[in-house]
Amino acid sequence: MPDRSPQHTDQPLASATQPTAAREEVPASSGRGTALRQAQDGPQTAPPRGGDAQRCGGEHCDLLVIGSGAGGLSAAVTAAHLGLKVIVAEKDPQVGGTTAWSGGWMWLPRNPLAVEAGIHEPIEEPLAYLRHELGERFDEARARAFLDAAPQMVQFFRSQTALRFIDGNAIPDFHGRTPHASLGGRSLCAAPFDGRRLGPRIAELKPPLPETTLWGMGIASGAELRHFFNALRKPASFWTVTKLVLSHWKDLLIHRRGMRLVNGNALVAALAASAFEAGVDIRTRSPARKLLRDGERVTGAVLTTPDGPVEVHARRGVLLACGGFPHDDARKAALLPHAPTGKEHHSAASRGNTGDGLRLGETAGGQVATGGLQAAALAPVSLVPRADGSFAHFPHLIERGKPGLIAVTRRGQRFTNEADPYHDFMQGLLAALPAGEPVQAWLVCDHAFMRHYGLGAAKPAPMPLGPMLANGYVKTGRTLAELARVCGIDADALTQTVRRYNTMALKGQDADFTKGETPYNRMQGDAPFAAERGWPNACMGPLERGPFYAVRVVAGSLGTFAGLRTNAHAQVLDPQGQPIPGLYAGGNDMDSMMAGHYPSGGITLGPAMVFGWLAAHHMATPATADAASPSSGRHQKPGEAGSAVSLDGTSPHPH
Ligand SMILES: Cc1cc2nc3c(=O)[nH]c(=O)nc-3n(C[C@H](O)[C@H](O)[C@H](O)COP(=O)(O)OP(=O)(O)OC[C@H]3O[C@@H](n4cnc5c(N)ncnc54)[C@H](O)[C@@H]3O)c2cc1C
């Protein structure tokens, strides 16, 4: 196999961690001078579409990013800070993809916020955790690349861009029984972001998924969410919620949308603001339809824009970040055994994520990896009727672990630990169902639970429950037997299951599925409320007084895991394992380094941010520039890399 990698040189390039003003000036022909001027001159408007650009054979940049979620924007912002001229093409009318709907949590072990709080751990600790979790699928090269770069990526973004983080120092890994699991310090969330910083361009930001908001207001996880649950029980919570709601209504009046952005919406807003400020040219309604190639090298893409097709030529590389294949029925049918036609899998991911990136990558010789344990980040999803006749896909991430809820199949039996992570919950359901049976279960609770925590898209008191009963989303019965009949569940079995569960809940021990025994379970529970009621287990309370309620959940996901095979620089690999020159993948277009496992919260957004940062550094190396130059005849051995200098003067590239 010919060696097609670019030549390694040891000349440092401007670091993405250096302030813009301190960066070296470079010849405009490299593209870096242009970007540097753009960054210094402030935000740029997009160059005219079509027109001259089209007449002279398209437009030119250093990096073309396809997709504007975390995977794409991390690379775009980093590359712009490294002096590259960057264009981001987005298919949707707004920026942000699934990332804008997400919790915004990123698994980033050894991050600076943890270190500053005194949580120090050697790289071997998270590595060992991953090794235990992933078993034979553990890819040490990529895991080390990720863990090496994660702290540098965080330091770059928090010191050089608009993105700020809040710590996850009390957030445990998912599987507390696995050796080297952490009790906290391995994750971060995007800090709340003031949407006014985006100015009129806030209109380009995708709002949160409406069903997960209160009148369009996102609710941050953790303390803020607890205030909402306790709003009718505790004066301090009532006051906090009242202030948040009043401020949101004020924003609605003035700006016609909420401006206090939280979770994944804050992440995208901060990344988009950083991109605009660094001169990145983001184009919405511009899906990439085809890759341009010069021999084996990928040199750009054809975008379908509102003004017609435009060829964008990218000197250093094209990064595919289209968010995987959550809405590509053909690929779902091929890779998800529980979805024989693809339609049986109802992903909560953004609807524009129809597998374009994977298909584009394949046209250039890339391969979609199929060896993972699961091809998607599974989650139970309920189908929420909307006024226009469509259904929102609501992922059940929060209420399953609270005391007073159980999940049963149509046989009326529990099948797993309801407080376990969503991916595990779904694996438990898939394992419990006979082959060929539709993948569905019911989350069941009593009236007190429903009004305290809500159930899926049905919100707690004082929000009215009536509309969700009227549209059939929530099923109800005065007794468990009546509820069972409405849902098509075995009534005797459900009654017996609840009786047994209630006994276990009062003892605080789940003899069937050990609910409440891991740190993650307990975090998902509600220890103060359980204690008030005299329930010894933070995740277990009896289902006592009717009316009882149920919501049906089906197979879904937060996104997909199977993606284009890449190396530690995020370069897409051909079937022989060689990098395809000029082609990179990010976010869920990249095969997940977790190989279908789900060891902790944030394991898609964390790697999306880190590998985007790594890809940008790789593209910015002189070696990559040389290789991209038509006059260059130099080659690099596989595994060699360029040498962009990073935060602490070390190479950001893995070894
Ligand atoms: C409710 C919810 C909560 C979640 N919470 C978390 C969390 O806290 N932590 C975590 O790690 N993960 C979380 N996830 C999963 C996470 O959001 C996704 O895995 C992640 O956002 C994927 O990022 P991405 O950049 O690959 O794709 P996206 O953010 O989906 O962006 C892809 C973009 O590409 C665009 N696109 C598609 N095709 C084209 C094309 N041909 N041309 C141009 N653009 C195109 C899409 O329109 C989209 O905007 C959550 C998911 C959901 C649904």
The answer to whether the beta carbons of residues 73 and 88 sit under 8 Å apart is yes
Ligand 1 mean position, distance from CA 556 (Å): 15
Ligand 1 geometric centre to CA of 104 (Å): 11
Looking at the CA of residue 604, tell me the nearest atom of ligand 1: 11
Ligand 1 atom at minimum distance from 287 CA: 42
| Range name among 29-33, 114-118, 162-166, 246-250 with the lowest pLDDT average | 29-33
Whether the pLDDT of residue 34 is over 70: the answer is no
Q: Which pLDDT belongs to residue 555?
A: 98
- 100 CA: nearest ligand 1 atom: 29
Residue nearest ligand 1's atom 27 by CA: 323
Whether 315 contacts 62, CB under 8 Å = yes
pLDDT in tens, 80-115: 999 999 999 999 999 999 999 999 999 999 999 999
CA-wise closest residue to 422 among 460, 459, 381, 375: 381
How many CB atoms sit inside 10 A of residue 417's CB? 23
Dist. CA 355 → ligand 1 center (Å): 12
Q: Are strands 308-320 and 297-305 parallel, antiparallel or unpaired?
A: antiparallel
Probe ligand 1: pick from 322, 423, 613, max atoms within 8 Å of CB? 322
Q: What are the residues whose beta carbons fall under 8 Å from the beta carbon of 514, sequence distance 6 or more? A: 417
What backbone phi and psi angles, to 5 degrees, belong to 433?
A: -90, 140
Task: Look at residue 12 in the predicted model and tell me its pLDDT.
Answer: 28
Please give the average per-residue pLDDT across 447-469, as a whole number.
97
pLDDT, tens only, 539-587? 999 999 999 999 999 999 999 999 999 999 999 999 999 999 999 999 9
Cis ω for the linkage preceding 542 (within 30 of 0):
no
Given this model, what pLDDT does residue 640 score?
34
CB contact at 8 A, 58 and 252: no
Residue 350 is predicted with a pLDDT of: 98
Query: According to the model, what pLDDT value does residue 630 have?
Result: 60
Instruction: Give tens-digit pLDDT for 415-432.
Output: 999 999 999 999 999 999
pLDDT at 221 over 90: no
Choosing from 186, 213, 305, 353 the residue with most ligand 1 atoms within 8 A of its CB, the one to mutate for a pocket test is 353
Output the average pLDDT for the chain: 89
Q: Which of 291, 604, 610, 613 to mutate to test the pocket of ligand 1 (most atoms within 8 A of CB)?
A: 604
Give the model's pLDDT for residue 427: 97
Residue 10's pLDDT is 28
Confidence check: pLDDT of 457 > 80: yes
Residue 619 to residues 13, 83, 302, 397, 614, Cα–Cα distance (Å):
11, 11, 20, 37, 9
- Best probe residue, ligand 1, of 327, 354, 605 (max atoms within 8 Å of C-beta): 605
pLDDT in the model for residue 404: 98
Question: Can you tell me the distance from the alpha carbon of 31 to that of 33, in angstroms, rounded to the nearest whole number?
Answer: 6
Identify the residues whose C-beta falls under 6 Å from ligand 1. Answer: 66-72, 89-92, 97-99, 101-105, 264, 287-288, 321-323, 348-350, 352-353, 356, 395, 558-559, 587-588, 601-605, 608
CATH C-level class of 377-558: alpha beta
Q: Is the predicted pLDDT of residue 203 greater than 50, yes or no?
A: yes
The pLDDT value recorded for residue 222 is: 84
How many whole angstroms separate alpha carbon 60 and alpha carbon 225?
46
Distance 559 CA to ligand 1 centre (A): 7
d(CA 423, CA 427): 6
Mean pLDDT (whole number) for 598-609: 98
CATH of 1-210+257-375+561-655, one of 3.10.290.10, 3.50.50.60, 3.90.600.10, 1.10.510.10: 3.50.50.60
What pLDDT sits at residue 57? Answer: 67
Q: So what's the pLDDT on residue 559? A: 98
* Backbone phi and psi for residue 574, each to the nearest 5 degrees, phi listed first: -85, 180
The arithmetic mean of pLDDT across residues 359-366, rounded, is: 98
Q: Which residue's CA is minimally distant from atom 14 of ligand 1?
A: 102
Closest atom, ligand 1, to C-alpha of 206: 49
Is it the case that residue 29 has pLDDT exceeding 80?
no
pLDDT at 33 (0 to 100): 30
Q: Mutate which of 102, 189, 566 to test ligand 1's pocket (most atoms within 8 Å of Cβ)?
A: 102
Q: What is the pLDDT of residues 184-200, one digit of tens each?
A: 999 999 999 999 999 99
Task: Report CA-CA distances (Å) from 503 to 429, 497, 509, 529, 543.
Answer: 23, 10, 9, 18, 10
Cis omega (within 30 of 0) for bond into 579: no
Structure tokens that stand for 215 in this block: 């009148």
pLDDT of residue 223: 87
Q: Could you tell me the residue ranges of all domains in the chain?
A: 1-210+257-375+561-655, 217-256, 377-558
At 332, is the pLDDT very low, low, confident or very high (cuts 50, 70, 90)?
very high
With 50 as the cut, is the pLDDT of residue 41 above it?
Answer: no
